[in-house]
Amino acid sequence: MVDRVAPGEQPDGRGAEARAEQPADPGTLRPGGRTARVRAAVLEAAGDLIVEAGLTGLDLAEVARRAGVGKTTVYRRWATTTGLVADLLAHMAEESVPRTETGSLDGDLLANAELVRATLSDPRQGALFKAVIAAAATDPRTADALHRFYRIRVAEWAPCVTTAVARGELPAGTDPAEVIRAVSAPLYYRLLTTPEPLTPDLAATAARATAAAARAGAYARTAPATETGGTGAPDGGAAD
């Protein structure tokens, strides 16, 4: 149960300020009943508000009001909207769903793709992910939290690729993390760059395409089966 957004934050070089005792961030010394209750209420209210009004509409005073909590408390413990979003992300990570095992690479990848699709399509979770990504693009702290989150998620699913390699379904040297990322990537890309909904068909395509590419050795760290063939490309200018 993570309680602090990020402990290693205070500037450290506070020597001149006196104050022999450093108070250590609020919520750490007495995480008991009330503190935990406050965190739960605030995170829920924050989630609701993001879903309703987007990241822009997330102001801490309103969160406090909805959570039935003092405005001061919210500012003291989370300070900024991005700080709150980062904690929300940590909270989401805590209650993540374990991966399923189907026995075949195709089945596992499809299950993964479908799980991602369902999550991103869910009105609440989808909005939260968008908000988190937006916040991370802006704030380094939130970005750290986001990177940690995805590292864990990828590691959680990587074994299904390792097993597939062991079963001989995929060439040796295939990078498991890269395969897992390849399944999610198209779904996120669609979510962010097109107005269309994420269909189950899209998830299936992502899974199938990744499996096909992996079998062709495209994710092998050593020499791949397919030939590169192309020459370099110009740089500069805007791209998609």
Partner DNA sequence: GCATTAATGGAACTGGAGACCCGTTATGGT
Partner DNA sequence: ACCATAACGGGTCTCCAGTTCCATTAATGC
Scan residues 20-39 and list those touching DNA (CB under 7 A): 23-35, 38
4 binds, among a copy of itself, DNA, none (CB under 5 to 8 A by kind): none
Amino acid at 54: G
Of 32-61, binders to a copy of itself (CB under 8 A) are: 54-56
Q: Which residue has the tokens 């402990």?
A: 7
How far apart CA 118 and CA 200 sit, in angstroms, is: 8
Q: Pattern 156-185, binding to a copy of itself, x per CB under 8 A? A: xx--------------------x-xxx-xx
CA distances (Å), 25 to each of 7, 47, 74, 119, 230, in order?
8, 23, 13, 33, 55
Running DSSP on this structure, what letter comes out for residue 153?
H
Of 51-80, binders to DNA (CB under 7 A) are: 59-61, 68-73, 75-77, 79-80
Smaller CB separation from a copy of itself, 9 or 14:
9
Kindly state whether residue 50 participates in binding DNA, applying the rule CB under 7 A.
no
59 binds, among a copy of itself, DNA, none (CB under 5 to 8 A by kind): DNA
Biggest distance spanned by C-alpha atoms of the chain: 66
Smaller CB separation from DNA, 27 or 186:
27
How far apart CA 202 and CA 216 sit, in angstroms, is: 21
How far apart CA 102 and CA 96 sit, in angstroms, is: 19
Backbone angles phi, psi at 28, to 5 degrees: -95, -35
Smaller CB separation from DNA, 25 or 44:
25
Interface residues with DNA (CB under 7 A) are 23-35, 38, 59-61, 68-73, 75-77, 79-81
